[in-house]
Amino acid sequence: MRIGLIAGEYPPLQGGLGDYTRRLALALADLGHEPHVLTRFVAGAPAVESEGNITVHRLVGAWNWETRRRIEGFNRLFHPDVLNLQYQAAAYQMHPAINLLPGALDKRTPTVVTFHDLRVPYLFPKAGVLRWKSIVMMAKGASACITTNVEDRDTLLREGVREVAMIPIGSNITPAVPEGFDGAAWRRAWGIADGVILVGYFGFMNESKGGEALIRALAELRRRGLDVGLLHIGGQAGDSDPTNLAYAAHLQRLAVALGVRERVYLTGFLDERGVSEAFAACTCIALPYRDGASFRRGTLMAALAHGCAIVTTTPRVALPELIDGVNVLLAPPDDIPALAQAIQRVIADEALRRRLQAGAAELSRRFRWEAIAAQTAALLERIVTGR
């Protein structure tokens, strides 16, 4: 199939949606399909470029009412069998045009929407219920929908969306720790004193990811006499959501107020090997999502793929794959004492830490990109054949 993948962001722009789209496109190409990525223009990047068997078309100046014309122009030139729109509101600057796109495009080319989350876009002040209706309209205007987690799937089904498939995401970071990696030497190179126990956090900071709880838990652990430091792995903000920067600044002020600023270490943006090394330098990874652990979280998938000892929060809905004490250690969302206690358990108990590491690596095998691409291709083929 010739597949058009619409992505609000794409490398070199930083963001999970763009990284996901690239991984999916590569895996679809490995299956013999012809992926074309349709994304926005980036200064310094070519308008059209190839990576392996992927062709990237940077044909959108901004996500707005002009977007439909740009996509239809691509359809006339390349005649894709199907379009797969990767949706996350922030990646499209919260503009409502993208929500109307599936229903507005020429129906001769079916459009399947992959919802990376169901966050409602900002349309205009006091838009109220119209925000959610724009999401439902988008889902119903598509030929089919893909969700990455059971929560979002069930939400769309309750809204009367008939064609909904659940296909998980995988890790956007391929483990790349060099043989003989020396964690102590790595920490010294980053100016981290010997003896500091590193708790890692991966990904951009925003309110839903529990950054404030993590800073408060760090302060609590240090009050208990543990020489713990927090390593923020990767950039603090992506290219699509400006609220990340404001929240990161808020967390820095909180760390100063609690007296732990000197024990918060920021790596900034890292390549894949750099991220893998940072994971390996940490005793555990803490991901205290305020809405509970979910398989829509690429940061969780990356930690699983690296076989980390993970402390995270109890899922909002039952996820039988996540087993407390086997492949993750769970604490209730927004419960700072419980989060601190869970981190302390992993630090103190080597047997527990080893068990969590092995369990995470085992669970990650369920989320390989070749399987994700095969499931996605099967759905797209069924939609194309059905038409």
pLDDT (tens, 9 = 90+) of the chain, 387 residues, equals 999 999 999 999 888 899 999 999 999 999 999 999 999 999 989 999 999 899 999 999 999 999 999 999 999 999 999 999 999 988 898 888 999 999 989 888 999 999 998 866 555 555 567 778 889 999 999 999 999 988 899 999 999 998 999 999 999 899 988 888 998 999 999 999 989 999 999 987 777 888 899 999 999 999 999 999 999 998 766 555 566 678 888 888 999 999 999 999 999 889 989 999 999 999 999 999 999 999 989 999 999 999 999 999 999 888 999 999 999 999 999 999 999 999 999 999 999 999 999 999 999 999 999 999 999 999 999 999 986
Strands of the sheet with 82-87, listed across from one edge? 48-51, 54-60, 34-40, 2-7, 82-87, 111-115, 144-147, 164-166
Question: Do 2-170+368-386 and 183-367 fold alike per CATH?
Answer: yes
**What burial letters (b/e) apply to 119-148, b meaning 16+ CB within 10 Å?**
bbbebeeeeeeebeebbbbbbbbbbbbbbb
Query: Is residue 148 within 8 Å of 295, Cβ to Cβ?
Result: yes
pLDDT of the residue at 237: 60
pLDDT of the residue at 315: 94
The two tokens of residue 275 are: 């991220």
The two tokens of residue 230 are: 């927090």
Separation CA 264–CA 245 (nearest Å):
16
Strands of the sheet with 197-202, listed across from one edge? 264-266, 228-233, 197-202, 284-287, 310-313, 329-331
Query: Is residue 221 within 8 Å of 266, Cβ to Cβ?
Result: no
Query: Is residue 73 within 8 Å of 111, Cβ to Cβ?
Result: no
pLDDT of the residue at 234: 87
Sign of the dihedral through C-alpha 358, 364, 370, 371 = positive
The two tokens of residue 80 are: 């894709």
Query: Is residue 112 within 8 Å of 5, Cβ to Cβ?
Result: no
pLDDT of the residue at 93: 82
pLDDT of the residue at 379: 97
The two tokens of residue 227 are: 């020489």
191, with CB counted inside 10 A (0-12, 13-18, 19+), is: exposed
Separation CA 153–CA 165 (nearest Å):
7
Separation CA 195–CA 217 (nearest Å):
19
Cα angle: 229, vertex 194, 325; to 5 degrees: 50
Separation CA 14–CA 241 (nearest Å):
10
Amino acid letter at 384? V
2-170+368-386 carries CATH number 3.40.1010.20:
no
pLDDT of the residue at 321: 94
Strands 197-202 and 284-287: parallel
Look up residue 316 and give its DSSP letter: S
Question: Would you kindly state where each structural domain of the chain is located, as residue ranges?
Answer: 2-170+368-386, 183-367
**What predicted TM-score, i.e. pTM, was given to this entire model?**
0.82
CA 264 from chain centre, in angstroms, equals 23
pLDDT of the residue at 242: 61
Closest CA to 81 of 170, 5, 132, 178: 5
Which CATH number, 3.90.10.10, 3.40.50.2000, 3.40.50.970, 3.40.50.300, labels domain 183-367? 3.40.50.2000
pLDDT of the residue at 141: 94
Sign of the dihedral through C-alpha 295, 300, 302, 308 = negative
